[in-house]
Amino acid sequence: MTGRAYVVAKQAPRVEEKAIAESEVTLELERLQHALEKSERELQKILQLTEQKVGSQKAKIFEAQIMILSDGVLFDSIRKRVKKDLRSAEYVVHREISKYQQVMMNSADEYMRERAHDVEDVKNRVIRNIQQDKLISRFDESSIVISELLTPADTILFSRNEVLAYATDMGGVTSHAALLSRSLNIPSVVGLKEITKLVTTGDLIIVDGYSGTVIIHPTEATIARCNERKEEHLQFETRLKEIRDLTAQTTDGKIVQLCCNIEFSEEALNVHAQGSNGIGLYRTEGLFLRTENYPSEEEQFEEYKAVVEKARPHKVVMRTLDIGGDKVVSNTNSEENPFLGWRGIRVLLDMPDVFQTQLRAMLRASAFGEVWIMLPMISGVKEVRRAKESLEQAKKELRSKGIPFDENIRVGAMIEVPSAAVLAGEIAQETDFLSIGTNDLIQYLLAVDRGNENVSSLYQEFHPAVIKTIRFIIIEAHRAGKTVSMCGEMAGDPMAVLLLMGLGLDEFSMTPYVLPEIKKIIRSVSYQEAEEIARRVLEMKTEDDIKDFLRVNLHTMVPELLIE
Ligand code: PEP
Ligand code: MG
């Protein structure tokens, strides 16, 4: 994708003195109001979360911050100063609140000095919200967004405008922001370390999502070459349409299921467009990241029902909320090690209201098509049992109200924590299916943060330990008579397909746009060959050996693939 860069500064808000014209005052005051309301909504949500997690005593800080926001005298004087001094809202907020803060800092009372930090937090939150509002309206033209780091919430926010591509300093390819941009069909290259230093707003650049490269100030010849490659890819994709309605079946008759991973209800139509067998992972966090408060049961039900209706007659595997890690719903209190912290099923089991609301919404959607429920971040049997009890409670409530749902709804667990992999057999006995989440499983198994570009070379799909673990999970689940799917990015990696087939995986769920290529690979080989490949790979000791072997085999068996 070729376009002009727009560099987003994402550090602590920087504020410069900026004069505004009289005609801009109304808009400036509207922005201020909007930012105040947004800040309050954010703080209310954080307050609610904190209360549920650590109790109302600790949550008092946020109550105090909300009170500062509703200080009519302070904000009236800020509004007056914007009008009178003709200065930007963020500048006046910064100047006036800093004065107030200084008075508190100089106080002899320790309590007052402590409160000065809350004032600082409120000030930064309001300024950030004013600036974000301006940033959004600045995207009049389509741009390539360059930033240090993107959060999943930023990715959604920016994509309301015409974003041609993303390129970031930090982040890994399986970070949730990168996955989201894939879902939004926006090319992205992440973890470039210093792209924000090398590029200035307005520079012409190319972001090549196929090869993961960025070219700054490309020559005419480079642009032409990139366009040619893009054309080649498009032609290949057109050719793949011929097999869209065919089964994913090997030459010797073994059939596997190919499903789509989606984040938004709009994407559900891909199920048919890409010739898949359903939705193998519906990440429900999108809805929670888009709304500032937790979506109500009704809002969730409408969204889930829309997905089910679009995917019909195919199944939809809905995953219960997986916040935490790098997916933070507004600026909650941060944790030292978020990926090892309050995440996925742990959050839901601690917040029964949020869990019940979501389960009821999912159950209600199951009256309109085939829904399976999947639990994220399971680390042992006890969590599965507790989650199933919650599900029973939600069913009971709907039954008592006479609301229809699928009584036999299937419940599965994601296997993405090493302890769950070790207990795959036990967990399989308690559930209807397993789904391997390699994005997390790899990071936890190899102790490599999936979003940290400094260790990205150690994040290895083809690490022998990863492959042996996958094999173990499949064997254990099959022994318990259950099917195994994989919904991590590895399932959509052309290099991994033959190996995973050979290991006996039943279902592959992936970003929709790679599905036709994966189907092509499966239809080009025999199961016997895939088993032989898996057997050979299991004897290898390093990722390099495994990758070389798989690359050569893929090239020979499916020569028409365009592998980067
Ligand atoms: C995974 O961990 O592989 C997975 C599919 O879940 P997510 O990427 O949403 O964490
Ligand atoms: Mg995961």
Give the Å distance between the CA of 336 and the centre of ligand 1. 21
User: 45 or 202, which is more confident?
Assistant: 202
The mean pLDDT of 250-264, rounded to a whole number, is 96
Tell me if 437 CB under 6 Å of ligand 1.
Answer: yes
Tell me if 285 CB under 6 Å of ligand 1.
Answer: no
Digit-coded pLDDT (tens) for 436-466: 999 999 999 999 999 888 898 999 999 999 9
Question: What's the per-residue H, E or C state across 114-136?
Answer: HHHHHHHHHHHHHHHHHHHHHHH
Tell me if 319 CB under 6 Å of ligand 1.
Answer: no
The mean pLDDT of 164-177, rounded to a whole number, is 86
Most confident listed range (42-51, 179-188, 376-385) = 376-385
Point out the ligand 1 atom lying closest to the alpha carbon of residue 489. Answer: 3
Return the domain boundaries, the chain: 1-223, 241-256+417-564, 259-415
- Residues of the chain with pLDDT > 90, as a percent, come to 60
> Which residue type, as a one-letter code, is found at position 204?
L
User: 53 or 537, which is more confident?
Assistant: 537
Choosing from 217, 259, 487, 555, the catalytic residue is 487
pLDDT score of 233: 85
Point out the ligand 1 atom lying closest to the alpha carbon of residue 176. Answer: 8
The mean pLDDT of 529-554, rounded to a whole number, is 97
Tell me if 175 CB under 6 Å of ligand 1.
Answer: no
Question: Fold identical between 241-256+417-564 and 259-415?
Answer: yes
Nearest Cα to 249, choosing from 258, 240, 241?
258
- Residues of the chain with pLDDT > 70, as a percent, come to 94
In this prediction, residue 296 has a pLDDT band, given cuts at 50, 70 and 90, of very high
CB count, 10 Å around CB of 77? 13
The mean pLDDT of 92-99, rounded to a whole number, is 91
Give the Å distance between the CA of 135 and the centre of ligand 1. 30
Tell me if 440 CB under 6 Å of ligand 1.
Answer: yes
pLDDT score of 331: 46
Digit-coded pLDDT (tens) for 104-150: 888 877 777 777 878 888 898 899 888 876 666 566 568 899 988 87
Exposed, middle or buried by CB within 10 Å (0-12, 13-18, 19+), for 219?
exposed
Q: Measure CA 286 to chain center.
A: 7
pLDDT score of 7: 86
Chain mean pLDDT for the chain:
90
In this prediction, residue 371 has a pLDDT band, given cuts at 50, 70 and 90, of very high
**Window from 66-70, 108-112, 403-407 with minimum mean pLDDT:** 108-112
pLDDT score of 262: 94
The mean pLDDT of 372-385, rounded to a whole number, is 98
For the question of whether the overall pTM of this predicted structure is more than 0.85, the answer is no
pLDDT score of 67: 87
> Which residue type, as a one-letter code, is found at position 455?
V
The mean pLDDT of 385-391, rounded to a whole number, is 98
Q: What is the CATH number of domain 241-256+417-564?
A: 3.20.20.60
The mean pLDDT of 470-491, rounded to a whole number, is 98
Listed as own residue / partner, the contacts of 383-392 with beta carbons closer than 8 Å and 24 or more positions apart are 383/345, 383/346, 383/349, 384/413, 384/427, 384/430, 384/431, 385/430, 386/349, 387/320, 387/345, 387/348, 387/349, 387/355, 387/411, 388/430, 390/348, 390/349, 390/352, 390/355, 390/356, 390/359, 391/359, 391/363
Choosing from 176, 259, 260, 463, the catalytic residue is 176
The mean pLDDT of 332-347, rounded to a whole number, is 83
Digit-coded pLDDT (tens) for 315-326: 999 999 998 777
Cα separation, 169 vs 512, whole angstroms: 26
Radius of gyration of the chain (CA): 25
DSSP states of 375-391 as a string? ESS--SHHHHHHHHHHH
Point out the ligand 1 atom lying closest to the alpha carbon of residue 438. Answer: 3
Q: What is the CATH number of domain 1-223?
A: 1.10.274.10
- Kindly state which CATH superfamily the domain 259-415 is placed in: Phosphoenolpyruvate-binding domains (3.20.20.60)
Cβ neighbours of residue 356 closer than 8 Å, sequence gap 6 or more: 390, 393, 394, 397
Digit-coded pLDDT (tens) for 184-222: 888 899 989 889 989 988 899 999 888 889 999 999 999
Give the Å distance between the CA of 441 and the centre of ligand 1. 8
Contact present, 148 and 170 (Cβ < 8 Å): yes
In this prediction, residue 74 has a pLDDT band, given cuts at 50, 70 and 90, of confident
Cα separation, 5 vs 141, whole angstroms: 11
DSSP states of 454-503 as a string? GGGGG--TT-HHHHHHHHHHHHHHHHTT-EEEE-SGGGG-HHHHHHHHHH
Per-chain residues with Cβ under 5 A from ion ligand 2: 416, 437, 440
Does 272 participate in catalysis according to the annotation? no
**Window from 77-86, 116-125, 129-138, 539-548 with minimum mean pLDDT:** 129-138
Tell me if 343 CB under 6 Å of ligand 1.
Answer: no
> Which residue type, as a one-letter code, is found at position 98?
S
In this prediction, residue 11 has a pLDDT band, given cuts at 50, 70 and 90, of low
Cβ neighbours of residue 455 closer than 8 Å, sequence gap 6 or more: 448, 449
